[in-house]
Amino acid sequence: MPGASFLLLLVAALAFAQFRFREAPPESKPFPAMPAKAEYHFLRMEYRDLSFSRRGFGPGRGWWRVDWPDADAHFTQGVQRLTRVDIGEPQHLPLLDNHIYDFPWIYATQAGYMDLSNAEAARLREYLLRGGFLVVDDFHGPDDWDAFRAWMQRVFPEQPILDLEQSDPLMHVVYDLDYRTQIPGLRHLRRGAGGATDVVMPYGPPLWRALKDAKGRMVVAINFNMDVGDAWEHADWPVYPEAMTSLAYRFGINYIVYAMTH
């Protein structure tokens, strides 16, 4: 009966809803002004999206913008509070802009949706070999990994991608880190029994990986099967778990200090 079918759908929807966050995210507020010039700026990489034929989705939506500008601004304020780094306003640039050499650290989100030209791959390699540092974040599952690995092999074909060891210097440069805490995107959080927060990840555990140059200096930090940018973006939303946000900030600060001292 149509009425019975509708009732079953309604009950299922209500049952599912109790496992999702009911609160709406807080509206973005104006961020405090930051200096236009400083020792460190959060730099987000602009890039072209992979085409429909290569990843199976439509024309570009600007994947580089995901979590922008809130993630960049929140994290920048955290660095200002927690360190003595001279911090400035967040920026975003394409790789072929020569001003990227003014920044020691680049962040790229949705790394599985990135399409680099030969010139951009060559520029990224030069940037990293001249002392730069890249953080890639918010990509999940085998398809994203294959897409990321394909363009990264064009940048550094001679260097393997490594699992990050607990003993690695990056894990202890400022904070002593333990990466067993999952840092999921907001879409992967559910409200469980008794108000507990559960993580529902479709692609398995988080993997902290890295790529190093011939001298053993880490040049690419890889946040795979996790979403550090979401933890920064929702840092002021009480329903996003503090343990996840705290780890995201600590990793981000370790990345910055490592990049500026190695």
Average pLDDT of the segment spanning 216-239 = 92
pTM of the predicted model, to two decimals? 0.84
> Is 118 a domain residue?
yes
We report the CATH number of the domain holding residue 213 as: 3.40.50.12140
> Is 4 a domain residue?
no
> Is 21 a domain residue?
no
> Is 74 a domain residue?
yes
What is the rounded end-to-end Cα distance, in angstroms, of the chain? Answer: 69
> Is 66 a domain residue?
yes
- Look at residue 78 in the predicted model and tell me its pLDDT: 94
Average pLDDT of the segment spanning 128-150 = 95
Are the beta carbons of 210 and 168 closer than 8 angstroms?
Answer: yes
Average pLDDT of the segment spanning 153-178 = 94
- Look at residue 45 in the predicted model and tell me its pLDDT: 97
| Full domain range(s) for residue 237 | 34-261
- In this structure, what is the dihedral angle of CA atoms 59, 64, 65, 70, given to the nearest 10 degrees? 160
> Is 92 a domain residue?
yes
Residue 59 has pLDDT above 50, yes or no: no
Helix (H) or strand (E) holding 144: helix 141-155
